[in-house]
Chain A
């Protein structure tokens, strides 16, 4: 760590969990405003750069790959809907589907029929936008795992944060338990194939995990979970008041949004105010738990750069949308190749730069000992559980080969 401040000389540390999420949300906001495939493609590229350079060595990195798969699936669905239910846009016909007759009361709707390339293109652009948002959120997952984010949850939601953390760390364990109980079924002379085999796992696995939950609860109680701080009555009343005002504000804001004839002040501004008040009430409500934080993540300059970088991209796209909408919307009639406006490119470059400038994560020392009987799996994150469950879906049972490749022990 030296004071020259050059790009390469930053000490490696983990950024505050919120910084990457804000960055990714900024990119997602940028994506939500545009259907220009070039802009969207550039956004995906920026996330790929960030994940390659700055994602640590945790099992959560697989979330990025999973996001791509999900995005592809969503894109496919959207295009399929566009082909089946799309409004006939005149243009070059590509294929003709049989038209399905529609009942009387749904007249005016067409299912099937001739499909033009303009129709497909429209569906594709739309789906691409949603896919890009999913990829941005997947990148956020990969760059800064949700477990770290849950540590920064406001005090009022502490208990629920704990529940989510417990759920996420227990889920892979449950899959291992199920594998073990499956083996034991074979030892009892029962078949493990088919529906009966799967249902027979339910009782023991559930029983075992509920029993373990009780041990967990005892351990939490023993270590002081649930100690409350004394909160003066005035603060308590203030908290309730803020939350109430927030909910009222949101309600009025939503009503204002719905009803076009009301004044513009009872709409988004009211909604915004309501959300701020409600958020304030939540933060204040955290006072009742007397908890401190061990080595809390610091929010330093690097976090500001990263967060603002993402929103710079969003701002650039928004600006172009208001000044010249045609540039961010891909036109379908006529179907022309979209142009790439220069402002969003600069904005996205800033976002990419922010990711590069951020400090690298320290290498995780997750090396397991030479333990030949991995009753605990070493890297059971999304990876191996996804592999196992995929096999269960496919064959109805986990074969030996699947278990071996997933590296999970008995």
Chain B
């Protein structure tokens, strides 16, 4: 179905090829997963299928890409629109019309399909993706998962043979992500569609894939093969695969079910190490003074109350994860903590001051927030300029911010424009900017959106270092792996109230939806991360 014939791509203003000597054949009806670190060329690979590279982006294409017999050299994207459907990273940015129904029909209108055929296909797609109750809604009012489904639906109404998706679940919480992925599963199995999918959060998706393409980046050759084979040695891998490596299993499991079946012996072996985990808890740094307090806080928009009576206290050295489904109030809570939202009632206290009444300079010295869209914080012309301005604004010694950035993300070039950076680098820059004045309280809102595993590891290191220095860190996230990795305490927010609050280990293992992969695999043993398992195995009496 899709054939890459010795393809290399050089963009117009670049000197080195992004992809080199790519030869790949994807047969019909497969779900093919494309993985690799940020900036490695995954997006370019996906856009080659569509013809967006080089017709839309400019550049030089060496070699040939053929989709269902059509050569992209002679077919620009509009002529491939009837066989290739493409869903980009940000579905809301790609909406051309106002309402769900019109959006679904847009592609068919462009192709001049007869009105009765269009009508029928729109009805089918609404049913297929469970969008019927939403049909007349304005696109702006939909939730993230619904928008993603509409974007997929609008790519499908032309009955394409190939569906290409670029990180479809990055902005979704686990339940919405599951909806979308199972929908895609159904498309592949019921309709025989070929699906090409790029994802960072492999744990959600690798079990469904028929084939994995690993793009290492820097022009290195691609690694293609069965998921188990490729994942066994891949630099980026989901937790169950890392567990398999640590435990030394011969077969690489990809789903929780496979992992549980393979982990029977491991569970027996580790049963005796459980008391050690509790000991871990005790050796955590002692909780110090309270840095941030909320007392009976009620916050809302207009006349609608979003947070009802929040009572919370956060002390030095704590790393708190705030979890909950999209829309539960996590971002509102963080905005209230930093003073951007003024509560209807109740008190917010950051180091004995009300953040809403502080001057910006004083605010930044006490508490820092990295918002959901890190790009909002950045507005200088270059990375170097950004660092210099931060030094100036906070009265720091010149070069502090740059040094902080180098410790988090040494690969970032000083002269790049912040808007041109990859997600991970942008987050690193935002972190450096917020961390440079070294505020005692640090807030992060959904930091792992769009980050690959390497960048996530760097983030975890930064958070651990800050906590070791005695800073308090609050992370709003629905990435349970991150919470398991780094948080000492977890809060669960639902319907504007805190429904659970306690040590991460207890909270995260008590609920199946929120449990990390290792916990699900080794249940009922309370292990959360591969690190836990590694330490436990090392401490076993007969460990080699």
Determine the distance from Cα of A226 to Cα of B78 in the docked complex, in whole angstroms.
7
Verify B78–A365 contact, CB threshold 8 A.
no
Instruction: Specify which chain B residues have a CB less than 8 angstroms from the CB of A47 in the assembled complex.
Output: none
Verify B82–A224 contact, CB threshold 8 A.
yes
Instruction: Specify which chain B residues have a CB less than 8 angstroms from the CB of A238 in the assembled complex.
Output: none
Verify A169–B98 contact, CB threshold 8 A.
yes
Determine the distance from Cα of A204 to Cα of B373 in the docked complex, in whole angstroms.
12
Binds B, one of A20-28, A189-197, A244-252: A189-197
Q: Report the minimum CB–CB distance from B451 to chain A (whole Å).
A: 19
Whether B102 sits at the interface, judged by CB under 8 Å, is: yes
Whether A98 sits at the interface, judged by CB under 8 Å, is: no
Known contacts A180-B373, A216-B93, A222-B86; decide if A189 and B360 are in contact (CB<8 Å).
yes
Q: Report the minimum CB–CB distance from A195 to chain B (whole Å).
A: 16
Verify A222–B77 contact, CB threshold 8 A.
yes
CB closest residue in chain B, given A210: B419
Instruction: Specify which chain B residues have a CB less than 8 angstroms from the CB of A385 in the assembled complex.
Output: none
Verify A372–B136 contact, CB threshold 8 A.
no
Whether B364 sits at the interface, judged by CB under 8 Å, is: yes
Q: Report the minimum CB–CB distance from B400 to chain A (whole Å).
A: 14
Determine the distance from Cα of A367 to Cα of B378 in the docked complex, in whole angstroms.
35
Instruction: Specify which chain B residues have a CB less than 8 angstroms from the CB of A180 in the assembled complex.
Output: 371, 373, 376
CB closest residue in chain B, given A380: B140
Verify A224–B140 contact, CB threshold 8 A.
no
Verify B377–A371 contact, CB threshold 8 A.
no
Verify B115–A296 contact, CB threshold 8 A.
yes
Whether B528 sits at the interface, judged by CB under 8 Å, is: no
Instruction: Specify which chain B residues have a CB less than 8 angstroms from the CB of A166 in the assembled complex.
Output: 96
Which B residues from 166 to 187 make CB contacts under 8 A with A?
none
| Residue of B301, B304, B434 most packed against chain A (CB within 10 A) | B301
Binds A, one of B204-212, B248-256, B336-344: B336-344
Whether A223 sits at the interface, judged by CB under 8 Å, is: yes
Whether B105 sits at the interface, judged by CB under 8 Å, is: yes
Binds A, one of B17-25, B221-229, B327-335: B327-335
Instruction: Specify which chain B residues have a CB less than 8 angstroms from the CB of A65 in the assembled complex.
Output: none
Verify A184–B364 contact, CB threshold 8 A.
no
Whether B266 sits at the interface, judged by CB under 8 Å, is: no
Verify B138–A366 contact, CB threshold 8 A.
yes
Whether B509 sits at the interface, judged by CB under 8 Å, is: no
| Residue of B97, B122, B154, B394 most packed against chain A (CB within 10 A) | B97
0/1 string, A185-225, CB within 8 A of B gives 1 = 11111111000000010011001100110011111111111
Verify A211–B419 contact, CB threshold 8 A.
yes
Instruction: Specify which chain B residues have a CB less than 8 angstroms from the CB of A218 in the assembled complex.
Output: 52, 56, 86, 88, 94
The listed residue (B76, B79, B102, B329) touching A294 by CB distance below 8 A is: B102
Verify A188–B377 contact, CB threshold 8 A.
yes
Binds B, one of A1-9, A82-90, A399-407: A399-407
Which B residues from 55 to 84 make CB contacts under 8 A with A?
55-56, 76-79, 81-82, 84
Instruction: Specify which chain B residues have a CB less than 8 angstroms from the CB of A393 in the assembled complex.
Output: none
| Residue of B122, B137, B379, B419 most packed against chain A (CB within 10 A) | B379
Binds A, one of B106-114, B272-280, B345-353, B518-526: B106-114
Whether B297 sits at the interface, judged by CB under 8 Å, is: no
Verify A290–B111 contact, CB threshold 8 A.
yes
CB closest residue in chain B, given A290: B112
Verify A224–B110 contact, CB threshold 8 A.
yes
Whether B218 sits at the interface, judged by CB under 8 Å, is: no
Verify B107–A216 contact, CB threshold 8 A.
no
Verify B98–A371 contact, CB threshold 8 A.
no
Determine the distance from Cα of A189 to Cα of B373 in the docked complex, in whole angstroms.
17
Instruction: Specify which chain A residues have a CB less than 8 angstroms from the CB of B329 in the assembled complex.
Output: 372-373
Verify B360–A291 contact, CB threshold 8 A.
no
Determine the distance from Cα of A261 to Cα of B191 in the docked complex, in whole angstroms.
75
Determine the distance from Cα of A51 to Cα of B364 in the docked complex, in whole angstroms.
51
Instruction: Specify which chain B residues have a CB less than 8 angstroms from the CB of A403 in the assembled complex.
Output: 301
Instruction: Specify which chain A residues have a CB less than 8 angstroms from the CB of B286 in the assembled complex.
Output: none
Whether B26 sits at the interface, judged by CB under 8 Å, is: no
Verify A227–B369 contact, CB threshold 8 A.
no
Verify B360–A190 contact, CB threshold 8 A.
yes
Known contacts A224-B78, A224-B81; decide if A372 and B327 are in contact (CB<8 Å).
yes
Whether A276 sits at the interface, judged by CB under 8 Å, is: no
Known contacts A204-B376, A292-B109, A371-B327; decide if A225 and B78 are in contact (CB<8 Å).
yes
Determine the distance from Cα of A207 to Cα of B110 in the docked complex, in whole angstroms.
29
CB closest residue in chain A, given B133: A365
Q: Report the minimum CB–CB distance from A159 to chain B (whole Å).
A: 12
Determine the distance from Cα of A253 to Cα of B394 in the docked complex, in whole angstroms.
69
The listed residue (B56, B141, B340) touching A410 by CB distance below 8 A is: B340
Verify B93–A192 contact, CB threshold 8 A.
no
Known contacts A180-B376, A187-B338; decide if A294 and B115 are in contact (CB<8 Å).
yes
Instruction: Specify which chain B residues have a CB less than 8 angstroms from the CB of A215 in the assembled complex.
Output: 88-90, 93-94
Q: Report the minimum CB–CB distance from B371 to chain A (whole Å).
A: 6
Determine the distance from Cα of A376 to Cα of B368 in the docked complex, in whole angstroms.
25
Whether B118 sits at the interface, judged by CB under 8 Å, is: yes
Which B residues from 339 to 392 make CB contacts under 8 A with A?
339-342, 360-361, 363-365, 368-369, 371, 373, 375-379, 390
**A-B pairs with the 5 shortest C-beta distances?**
A219-B94, A224-B110, A224-B81, A294-B105, A189-B364
Q: A410-B331, A410-B340 given; name 6 further pairs at CB < 8 Å.
A: A215-B89, A215-B93, A222-B85, A292-B108, A369-B141, A371-B327
Interface CB pairs A-B, < 8 A, 5: A184-B377, A188-B364, A190-B393, A212-B90, A292-B113
